[in-house]
Amino acid sequence: MTAVDAMPASATWRDSRMLDPQEHACRLSGWDQYYEQISCGAFRSRLIEIEFADIHIFEETLEQAVLQTGCCHQDTVALGVFSNLSGDARWHGRSVGADDVLFLDGDSELLLSTPQTSTLFAVGVPVAALEPWCEHAPLSVRESAHRLAATPLHDRAAAQRLREGLSAVIGELLLRPEEELPGSVVRRLRDELVMLVADQLHGKPDPRERPAISKAKEVVNRTRAYVLNRRDTPPTLLELCRHTHVSPRTLQYCFQSVLGESPASYMKMLRLNGARQDLKHHDGAWISDIAANWGFWHLSQFASDYRRMFGELPSATRAAR
């Protein structure tokens, strides 16, 4: 049993609204922060926090300009990205916006000022969880995070990936915030978030690291067969790396080269297509059973993903037969 398997398979969820900036700062779990209001007017804020396994995610919305100081946990790497800003924010005196990814490690100081209104997505991941994903990187996790903490990553595509990834995980976990999550779901979500953070720490890829197209096709084909053989319990990304004998970064390269998609996105599309075929050809099965057989643990989320993918609900596919 791995450390993640032994963790409680539940998501702790808090949605708080505050009228005082320091009360907001004190609500943030695992952070030592101080918030000072620096614009005139009534302060309002909202803080959505989710903790599961050893991951901490939050979305904070502030109405008034605020100066934030402090630090995160010593053994944590934290990343943040804005989804809404009424003006420029400033990170250690440097102007930052929606196309910047902010980094913080336990040895770095938080110094951030936000404009009149702002919304920030952030995730905190233990250094130990990132190390297996960064073992082939030129710098250690701590060295990379510390270097990036001084100079935010200005990369529109990277910021968008982080923003979309955190938004998707928050949306999925909010559907069942107090219920037990299947172990496979916990492992999948954790791997997706850890890989997302590790990808930011790696920085821009070196073209010399990319595998040959023949090798990339082989990795993709082996991954596809492995996922189809375990369709009711989708493997994690780390399991796929072990099965295909490649690093997480190489796995990403292979899928981007061959399909133009990330491994996580492709696995979801593969399972959605499988569920669609079962809906068309298996009369006697309930939609919920078909969804579960393909590793979709929450029916509402399955229906939402299915409609986004195929332009219709699963019930419409079944009725169209």
Q: What is the pLDDT of residues 91-150, one digit of tens each?
A: 998 999 999 999 998 888 899 999 999 999 999 999 888 887 776 666 788 888 888 887
Q: Indicate the number of domains in the chain.
A: 2
The verdict on 34 and 161 lying in the same domain is yes
Is residue 60 in some structural domain? yes
Provide the pLDDT for residue 43. 96
The verdict on 235 and 92 lying in the same domain is no
Is residue 186 in some structural domain? no
The verdict on 158 and 65 lying in the same domain is yes
User: Residue 42: pLDDT above 50?
Assistant: yes
Give the CA-trace dihedral at 257, 258, 260, 265, to 10 degrees: -120
Domain of 300, CATH number, reads: 1.10.10.60
Is residue 192 in some structural domain? no
Q: What is the pLDDT of residues 12-33, one digit of tens each?
A: 888 999 999 999 999 988 888 9
Banded pLDDT at 298 (limits 50, 70, 90): confident
The verdict on 170 and 250 lying in the same domain is no
The verdict on 155 and 247 lying in the same domain is no
The one-letter amino acid at 9: A
The verdict on 236 and 133 lying in the same domain is no
User: Residue 7: pLDDT above 70?
Assistant: no
The verdict on 289 and 245 lying in the same domain is yes
Residue-range definition of the domain harbouring residue 83: 3-174
C-alpha 270, offset from chain centre: 20
Is residue 44 in some structural domain? yes
User: Residue 157: pLDDT above 90?
Assistant: no
Banded pLDDT at 8 (limits 50, 70, 90): very low
Is residue 179 in some structural domain? no
Is residue 80 in some structural domain? yes
Is residue 239 in some structural domain? yes
User: Residue 314: pLDDT above 70?
Assistant: yes
Average of per-residue pLDDT across 149-162: 85
Q: What is the pLDDT of residues 189-244, one digit of tens each?
A: 788 788 778 878 775 555 555 678 888 899 999 999 998 888 877 788 888 888 89
Domain of 29, CATH number, reads: 2.60.120.10
**Higher pLDDT residue, 313 or 295?**
313
